[in-house]
Amino acid sequence: MSIKKHLLFFGELPPDSLHGIAISNKININLLKSSFSVDVIKESTSLSEHSKNSPIKFAKRLKEIFKVFSKSVFTRYDYFYLIYSLSVFGGLKTLAAIACFRISGRGKVVLHIHRGDFFKRYFNRFINRWISRTIFRLSHKLIVLSDTQKEEFRTLFNKPVYVLRNTVEYEHNKSERIRGNKKFIYISNYLFEKGIIDLLFVFSKLSSIYPEIYLKTFGEFSDPELKEEILGYNSHNICINGIISGINKYRELGESDCLILPSLNEGQPMILLEAMSVGTPVIASQTGLIPEILGVDYPFISIPGDRLSLESKILHFMHHKDKSVLSTLLHTRYSELYSQKKHVEMLSNIFE
């Protein structure tokens, strides 16, 4: 009987954190458990804490980083797998965790970069460049989300770079229902950068002209003022809901005509892949890796933050003739590039 190698993971996981990166971490850790003995140091950050620094948050991070040090002193790990947080505070946290592991451990550091806007932040400030270069010098392998990113990272940092596209937690059969043009859905956290206010404003306007259209939204609230503004759009045509559960999400997607994600900033959104996996058409914004996910010729990509552009894409979709072709196109693209089978192959190649 072969002895499993040891892996230490540091990052966010559900149910403490409910967003795409945390879900992706959960998927990867569960898959890695088949080949590794996995220890987890869970980073606990609520949605409301993400963009804020506080003494309590700082104390939590120090405690978690000390755990990295203490665990790697007493256990010889083959890999230390963690997620790069791109803020200055997050970058320093990532750097401290890697430094503690390298001081006390001997394994390889595998760093996962989940964002599509890395270079925008990297070139924005000197401190970002210094932190990133130091982190990469201490890391052995970098994981990125796409082939385009792989070439950019390899050219600039001269490190082994691997592509690991996101996949979904639960795979369901493609929905075969005949899709119309009336039922729209938004599933994401209620954050300004997700474009939720733009969507509600545009949909409220369109519903006064087309009273038959209907929008359901699902997500977690983090800001009380934003929550009040969002709930103010509740109407006969707009139904604002709280967090959606994993299984129920696929039913809602399958019963909807179109998912709308008008984000101002994204990486490789899990909800887009979930929609594609069941063949639900998508309207999304041209940010991060979204155009790469949907394909260069995909007709329903709007300009981020541009309400007229979003409105025109919704109207275009409402009058689009053959939605079954669109549904099949997205499902096929998911199967070829983002399926769990493809994901397992890429993950195995990284942690060989």
Measured distance CA(119)–CA(98) in Å, rounded: 21
What pLDDT sits at residue 194?
95
DSSP SS3 for 238: strand
List the pLDDT tens digit at each of the 352 positions of the chain. 457 899 999 999 988 887 889 999 999 999 999 999 999 999 876 555 555 666 777 788 888 899 999 999 888 999 999 999 888 888 999 999 999 999 987 899 999 999 888 888 888 889 999 999 999 999 999 999 999 899 889 888 889 999 999 999 988 888 888 888 899 999 999 999 999 999 999 999 999 999 999 999 999 998 999 999 999 999 999 999 999 877 789 999 999 999 999 999 888 999 999 999 999 999 999 998 999 999 988 999 999 999 999 999 999 999 998 899 999 999 999 999 999 999 999 999 999 8
- Report which DSSP code applies to 236: S
**Residue 302 · residue 309 · CB < 8 Å:** yes
Q: Taking the alpha carbons of 287, 293, 296, 297 in that order, is the dihedral positive or negative?
A: negative
- Please name the amino acid found at residue 174: K
What pLDDT sits at residue 62?
87
pTM of the model: 0.88
Looking only at Cα atoms, what is the longest distance across the chain?
Answer: 68
What pLDDT sits at residue 52?
60
Measured distance CA(53)–CA(89) in Å, rounded: 8
DSSP SS3 for 6: strand
CATH, domain 5-164, list 3.40.50.11930, 1.10.3720.10, 3.20.20.140, 3.50.50.60: 3.40.50.11930
- At the topology level of CATH, where does 183-337 sit? Rossmann fold (3.40.50)
What pLDDT sits at residue 1?
42
What pLDDT sits at residue 112?
97
Measured distance CA(121)–CA(126) in Å, rounded: 10
- Report which DSSP code applies to 1: -
**Residues 195, 196, 198, 201, Cα dihedral to 10°:** 180
DSSP SS3 for 345: helix
What pLDDT sits at residue 156?
87
What pLDDT sits at residue 2?
57
Q: Could you tell me the CA-to-CA distances from 32 to 80, 83, 104, 290 in Å, in that order?
A: 12, 15, 23, 27
Q: Which of 218, 150, 156 is nearest to 187 (CA)?
A: 218
Beta strands in 191-308 (DSSP E): 214-218, 238-240, 258-261, 282-285, 301-302
Taking the mean position of all CA atoms in its chain, how far away is CA 351?
21
What pLDDT sits at residue 286?
94
Measured distance CA(185)–CA(261) in Å, rounded: 9
Fold: same for 5-164 and 183-337? yes
Query: What are the boundaries of each domain within the chain?
Result: 5-164, 183-337
Measured distance CA(323)–CA(218) in Å, rounded: 24
